[in-house]
């Protein structure tokens, strides 16, 4: 199995998977806590327009995607805060605008459906060294900010009113979360693709919740599960010749199923222990 490390492109792919696997649930935990699990999806669609603009203008798509995703994230936060539009309608509009804009611009740029596909579903094995550098820098940036601001982010996501009364600039932190999510999405874009990016932000968190009882426990376990899913997914996809993105997401979903089942079994044995006479 270690033979895959002989291929330079697999080494780059695994490195990208490690960064993505840890970073996505690190910020995803706050999205889930804030009940904005689908925010990543909305931003991902907008990032596609950014990618298309990059292809159209001959700029690195990764960079234009960061810019577009960040602007999209700001738009969502501002719509949520100021507009009379409800959060889900604002998200829906960004979904459609981003996707339609991206596909149309990629057509205009004269690129093929295969190119579009590689951004929608990821193409981790075509990651080159310069892209990996950008991915690693952005990933490190997100992790550093999350680690430093966790108390504030926790407070804002747990109870906005209480955080505001405590003097936390709630709106600023809301924007920070959205921007970090946007950067994470561009980090994960090459690994799992824009359509599945949100899965890696949300599914490991949902899986961790099955067994963790504290916020910190959920946060750390989610990152570990994200790392596991990303690396296992890349290795599996190499072995059985499937696309890495969907393989990673299915691995994450499988970890959720296993932990949910384990939790169910645990609850059942606990109940039995409490009523030992019924064991008969």
Partner 1 sequence: MPVSEGDTGRAPVLRARGVTVELGGRTVLSGVDLTLCPGEVIAVLGANGSGKSTLVRASIGLVARRSGTVELFGTPLEHFRERARLGYVPQRSNESTGVPATVREVVLSGRLARRRFVGPASRADRAASERAIELVGLSDLVRRPVTELSGGQHQRTLIARALASEPELLVMDEPLAGVDAGSAAQLALTVGDLVAAGTAVLLVEHDLGPLTPVVDRAVVVDHGRVVFDGPAADAPAEHVHHHPHAGEPARLEPLPGEGVL
Interface with partner 1 by CB under 8 A: which residues?
29, 32-35, 37, 80-84, 148-149, 151-152, 154-155, 157-171, 205, 209, 212-216, 218-219
Closest CB 32 distance from partner 1, rounded Å: 5
- Nearest Cα residue to 188 out of 27, 57, 10, 58: 27
Encoding tokens for residue 170? Answer: 């709630």
- Phi/psi for 235 (5° steps) reads -65, -45
| Cβ neighbours for 132, distance < 8 A, ≥ 6 positions apart | 12, 15, 16
Q: Identify which of residues 1 and 82 has a Cβ nearer to partner 1 in the complex.
A: 82
Residue linked to tokens 């906005």: 160
Closest CB 273 distance from partner 1, rounded Å: 18
Q: Identify which of residues 51 and 221 has a Cβ nearer to partner 1 in the complex.
A: 221
Closest CB 78 distance from partner 1, rounded Å: 10
Closest CB 90 distance from partner 1, rounded Å: 11
- Phi/psi for 60 (5° steps) reads -60, 120
Q: Identify which of residues 8 and 217 has a Cβ nearer to partner 1 in the complex.
A: 217
Distance between CA atoms of residues 136 and 20, nearest Å:
9
Is there a contact between 108 and 56 (Cβ–Cβ < 8 Å)?
Answer: yes
Q: Identify which of residues 134 and 224 has a Cβ nearer to partner 1 in the complex.
A: 224
Closest CB 221 distance from partner 1, rounded Å: 11
Closest CB 178 distance from partner 1, rounded Å: 15
Residue 122 CA: distances (Å) to CA of 57, 114, 272: 21, 11, 46
Q: Identify which of residues 100 and 262 has a Cβ nearer to partner 1 in the complex.
A: 262
Distance between CA atoms of residues 19 and 226, nearest Å:
10
Q: Identify which of residues 37 and 254 has a Cβ nearer to partner 1 in the complex.
A: 37
HSE (side-chain half, CA atoms, 13 Å) at 143? 17
């Amino acid at each position: 199995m270690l033979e895959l490390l002989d291929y330079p492109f697999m080494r780059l792919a695994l490195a990208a998977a490690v960064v993505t696997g840890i970073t996505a649930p690190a910020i995803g935990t706050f999205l889930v806590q804030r009940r904005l699990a689908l925010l990543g999806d909305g931003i991902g669609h907008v990032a596609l327009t950014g990618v298309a603009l990059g292809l159209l203008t001959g700029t690195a798509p990764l960079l234009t995607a960061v810019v577009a995703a960040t602007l999209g994230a700001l738009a969502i936060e501002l719509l949520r805060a100021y507009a009379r539009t409800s959060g889900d309608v604002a998200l829906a509009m960004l979904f459609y605008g981003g996707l339609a804009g991206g596909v149309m611009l990629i057509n205009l740029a004269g690129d093929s459906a295969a190119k579009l596909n590689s951004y929608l579903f990821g193409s981790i094995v075509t990651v080159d060294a310069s892209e990996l550098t950008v991915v690693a820098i952005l990933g490190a940036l997100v992790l550093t900010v999350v680690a430093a601001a966790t108390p504030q982010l926790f407070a804002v996501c747990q109870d906005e009113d209480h955080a505001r009364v405590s003097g936390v600039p709630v709106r600023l932190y809301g924007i920070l979360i959205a921007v970090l999510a946007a950067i994470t999405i561009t980090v994960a874009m090459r690994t799992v693709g824009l359509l599945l990016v949100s899965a890696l932000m949300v599914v490991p968190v949902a899986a961790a919740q099955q067994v963790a009882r504290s916020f910190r426990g959920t946060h750390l376990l989610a990152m570990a599960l994200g790392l596991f899913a990303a690396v296992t997914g890349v290795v599996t996809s190499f072995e059985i010749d499937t696309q890495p993105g969907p393989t990673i997401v299915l691995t994450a979903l499988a970890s959720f199923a296993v932990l949910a089942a384990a939790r169910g079994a645990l609850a059942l044995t606990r109940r039995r222990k409490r009523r030992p006479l019924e064991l008969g």
